Structure 1
Amino acid sequence: MLSFMDSYTLWRQLPFPRSGSGEGMIMAHSDLAFAEEYVTTVIRYVERGIFKPAPVDVLAFLQELMHRIDRLGDVASGGDQAVVRSQHAYAALLDLVYRHFLEAGGQGK
């Protein structure tokens, strides 16, 4: 399993995934950006030692989003399959980063 700093470094270096062509994929892309906004609270922790979790259940939101992306993958075709895999992997990485963050701050679930 990746350590907190390894997962954080990987996340910070990866480009944000593309959007797909269907409405569901566009919404998933939008929700992924929304989730990432909450995960950016981790940056303050790493750079300044400020532990302040997001005001929402980020992990539940990401889990639901990954399930939705999985369902989109069942019907996606062509290039959208690669987009679905990329979006899912990015959401999973956000989940891992945020879980490590909560554990580091003593609020692990």
Structure 2
Amino acid sequence: MLSFMDSYTLWRHLPFPSSGSDKSLILAHSDLAGADEYATTVIRFVERGIFKPAPIDVLAMLQEIMHRIDLLGNAVSDGDQAVARSQHAYAALLHLVYQQFLDAGRQGE
């Protein structure tokens, strides 16, 4: 399993995935951007030691996004299949980072 700092570093250096051309992927991309914005609370924790979780359930939001992408299956074009995998992988990594952030912050409380 990746350590918190390893997963955080991967997330911070991973380019944000594209939106694709399928309407469902465009919506997932938009929601993923929102989750990514909420996850910036992790940056404050790493850089300044401030543990302040987002006001929403980021983990549930990411799980819902990954579920929606999974439901697309083979319904999208070949080009959008790669986009779907990229979005899903980004959401999965962000989920891991945010869970580790919550665990680390709660241990320090």
- TM-score band, normalised by the shorter chain? over 0.9
In structure 2, the residue matched to 1:74 is 74
Aligned pairs for 1:25-104 within 5 A = 25-104=25-104
Q: Give every structure 1 segment of 4 or more consecutive aligned residues whose post-TM-superposition deviation is greater than 4 Å.
A: none
Q: 2:46 and 2:77 mapped to 1: Cα distance?
A: 39
Measure, in 1, the Cα distance between the counterparts of 2:82 and 2:45: 32
TM-score (norm 2): 0.95
- After TM superposition, give the deviation of residue 93 of structure 1 in Å: 0.4
Q: What are the ranges of 5 or more consecutive residues in structure 1 without an aligned counterpart?
A: none
Cα RMSD (Å) of the superposition? Answer: 1.0
> Alpha-carbon deviations, 1:17-76, whole Å to 9, x = none?
011111111000000000000111000000000000000000011001100011123311
Q: With structure 1 as the length reference, what TM-score do the two structures score?
A: 0.95
Task: Report percent identity of matched pairs.
Answer: 77
Question: Match of 2:47, as an amino acid?
Answer: E
* Separation of aligned partners in 2, 1:15 and 1:34: 15
